[in-house]
Amino acid sequence: MSEFDKGALRYVFPEELLRYFDIVESGIHTDKPTGEDYLEVVFEEKNTLPEGYSKEDYESKGFFDWKNNSK
């Protein structure tokens, strides 16, 4: 995997997404069956609540395991 410029990716994704998630990994991969290249971007949720939410009222439900939904 070749690393992709995370700074450039900030221009691709909406500001609202990047307000709550960090880009932690990115890279160009090649799909073995087709030979086509694709960009994979991995996000990690920031540990902050949106404005107006109280930490006392917040309950984390967690996330499901990672899945590739592009196919």
62 found inside a domain: no
Q: pTM for the full model?
A: 0.63
Is it the case that residue 1 has pLDDT exceeding 50? Answer: no
Distinct helix (H) and strand (E) counts, the chain: 2, 3
14 pLDDT tier (thresholds 50, 70, 90): very high
pLDDT on residue 55: 74
Question: For residue 68, what pLDDT band results from cuts at 50, 70 and 90?
Answer: low
* DSSP symbol at 47: S
Query: 20 lies in a domain?
Result: yes
**Residue at 66 is within a domain:** no
Q: What is the pLDDT of residues 21-53, one digit of tens each?
A: 999 889 899 999 999 999 999 998 887 777 787
Total domain count, the chain? 1
Q: Is there a domain that residue 17 lies in? A: yes
CA dist 49 and 29 (Å) reads: 33
Rama region for 30: left / alpha / beta (φ>0; ψ in -120 to 50; rest): beta
23 part of a folded domain = yes
Domain membership of residue 63 (yes or no) is no
Question: Looking at the chain, how many residues does it have?
Answer: 71
